[in-house]
């Protein structure tokens, strides 16, 4: 179980490693920005989503555990 003291200590550590109050943890100098600035990432995301949704196990899981069709 996480206690408030441990949570606050972890948050302070993240704030100390952040690029600043505006840039945050994923600021312009991070690896996330270097990868996501490529436009091809958006094209790949659509294809990945389509493949995941087309898998029969995904359809079965949605049918069994979701109330979307009810």
pLDDT value at position 65? 83
d(C-alpha 70, C-alpha 55), whole Å: 22
Place of tokens 């958006």: 42
Residue bearing the bigger pLDDT, 27 or 6: 6
Q: pLDDT band for position 4 (50/70/90)?
A: very high
**Which tokens hold the place of 61?**
């899981």
Q: How do the domains of the chain map onto residue ranges?
A: 1-27, 38-70
Residue 70 has pLDDT above 70, yes or no: no
Burial 49-58 (b: 16+ CB within 10 A, else e): eeeeeeeeee
CA distances from 67 to 14, 31, 46, 55 (A): 38, 38, 25, 19
pLDDT value at position 8? 92
Q: pLDDT band for position 15 (50/70/90)?
A: confident
For 1-10, what is the mean pLDDT? Answer: 89
């Amino acid at each position: 179980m996480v206690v408030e003291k441990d949570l606050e200590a972890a948050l302070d550590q993240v704030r100390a490693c952040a690029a600043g109050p505006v840039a945050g943890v994923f600021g312009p100098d991070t690896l996330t920005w270097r990868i996501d600035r490529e436009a091809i990432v958006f094209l790949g995301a659509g294809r990945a989503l389509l493949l995941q949704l087309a898998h029969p196990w995904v359809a079965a899981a949605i049918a069994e555990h979701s109330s979307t069709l009810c």
